[in-house]
Amino acid sequence: MPIVNRFHDLAEEITAWRRDIHQNPEILYEVTRTAAFVAEQLRAFGVDSVETGVGRTGVVGVIKGRGTSRHVIGLRADMDALPMTENTGAPWASKVPGKMHACGHDGHTAMLLGAAKYLADTRNFDGTVVVIFQPAEEGGAGAKAMIDDGLITRYGIERVFGMHNLPGMPVGTFGIRPGAMMASADRLRISVEGVGGHAARPHLSRDPIVAASAIVMAAQTIVSRNADPLEAAVLSVTMFNAGSADNIIPQKAELRGTVRTLKPEMRDIMETRLAEVVAQVGAAYGVRAELEYRRDYPVTVNDEVEAHHAADIAARVVGEQNVTRNIVPTMGGEDFSFMLNTVPGAFIFAGVGENVANLHNEAYDFNDELIPVGCSYWATLVETTLPRAA
Ligand code: NI
């Protein structure tokens, strides 16, 4: 089963939705216009039920197939944009300064809507499909909010599937792997308080800048000295804020950054060692140093069986030679991980073109050529996972 023919016919309409969403980007949980559009379309398709306001602004549609199967699968798309200014020059470029769809969630939403339209129309499956449109993937844990709101239990979802576009891979290719596919993403904030004073008389102060600098350097040894060299870990300090003048040693300094790992054990090591380094280095410099470590997104772990299943589906759509079944994991984070921690499932990368700008770049624009491929993946996944009796 290659590209589902219906999607060649629907591509123009789905592209128009995608560009409309693109022009009107909304961030985090503020995706009210997008959610209203999604709900309105789902109702127009004649799906069996539509619920809004799940996890604050998420939308859930239910499509029942023909037959008696009680099996339920969930398909998930994210709706939110990013707080950055677009620089694509596209006719459908963002109309909102400081907000843009730089991660292709506009495309994800449009493709899942397209699949929902096809599935509601054809119902060539036996069981129930729950289409999930979530807010706040970018740093707001919208997937967790929907789960906390009862998404999985209320709809009886047994398996869940997600897809993300990936620049650098041609359209018509997919990449996936069993096990860890994307990293855990945690935030760190380190406050260092010393004693401020005149820069000419350092002996009368406790310099938080020197102490914080030592903490940054010592923290770099956690990856090189405490982490197993065969396991992945990243610790990046990305903000260093302190001071107000050339001749003042400040009272405080603040560091912020991110920690990424591919295994829960590594995540524990990073958190434990960082707390020790912060406290002990701070003590060595005579300042008070405190770590606030916030666990944000867990590791995105594909179920073994479901990852093979998803790869088989992708191979049906684009051919086995176009599916990488053991793609290298990325250290990016993804809140679909919360869903995969709740029920088995799989997250897959869909190539969006080799000449498409990187995700989160101001020049990025979702490539609409992916629409028939992505929609076909969803439709084929449903018709294969929930087959009608022969
Ligand atoms: Ni994304």
How many Å lie between the centroid of ligand 1 and the Cα of residue 104?
A: 6
Both 10 and 142 in one domain: the answer is yes
Q: What is the whole-number distance in angstroms between the Cα of residue 105 and the centre of ligand 1?
A: 6
Per the domain annotation, does 110 fall within a domain?
yes
User: Is residue 304 within 8 Å of residue 207, measured between CB atoms?
Assistant: no
> 390 in a domain, yes or no?
no
Tell which of 277, 297, 317 closes a domain. 297
b/e code 275-300 from CB counts within 10 Å (16+ = b): eebbeebbeebebebebebeebbbbb
Does residue 12 share a domain with residue 102? yes
Cα of 335 vs centre of ligand 1, distance in Å, is 9
Task: List residues bridging with 252 in a β-sheet.
Answer: 193
Output the CA 92–ligand 1 centroid distance in Å: 19
Single-letter code of the amino acid located at 243: G
Please enumerate in sequence order all residues whose Cβ is within 8 A of that of 216, keeping only pairs 6 or more positions apart, or say none. Answer: 237, 240, 255
CATH number at 205 reads 3.30.70.360
Q: Give the total number of structural domains in the chain.
A: 2
pTM as predicted: 0.92
CA–CA distance, 162 with 199 (Å, rounded to integer)? 55
Residue 79 CA, ligand 1 centroid: distance in Å? 9
Q: Is 80 contained in some domain?
A: yes
Residue finishing a domain among 270, 297, 324: 297
Q: Among residues 297, 320, 348, which one ends one of the domains?
A: 297
Residues 53 and 169 in one domain: yes
Distance CA 294, CA 275 (A): 12
Q: Are residues 33 and 177 in the same domain?
A: yes
Range of the domain at 229: 184-297
Task: Pick the closest to residue 348 from 380, 387, 383 (CA basis).
Answer: 380
pLDDT tens for each residue of the chain, 390 residues long? 578 888 999 999 999 999 999 999 999 999 999 999 999 999 999 999 999 999 999 999 999 999 999 999 999 999 999 999 999 999 999 999 999 999 999 999 999 999 999 999 999 999 999 999 999 999 999 999 999 999 999 999 999 999 999 999 999 999 999 999 999 999 999 999 999 999 999 999 999 999 999 999 999 999 999 999 999 999 999 999 999 999 999 999 999 999 999 999 999 999 999 999 999 999 999 999 999 999 999 999 999 999 999 999 999 999 999 999 999 999 999 999 999 999 999 999 999 999 999 999 999 999 999 999 999 999 999 999 999 987
How far is the centre of ligand 1, averaged over its atoms, from the C-alpha of 256 (Å)? 22
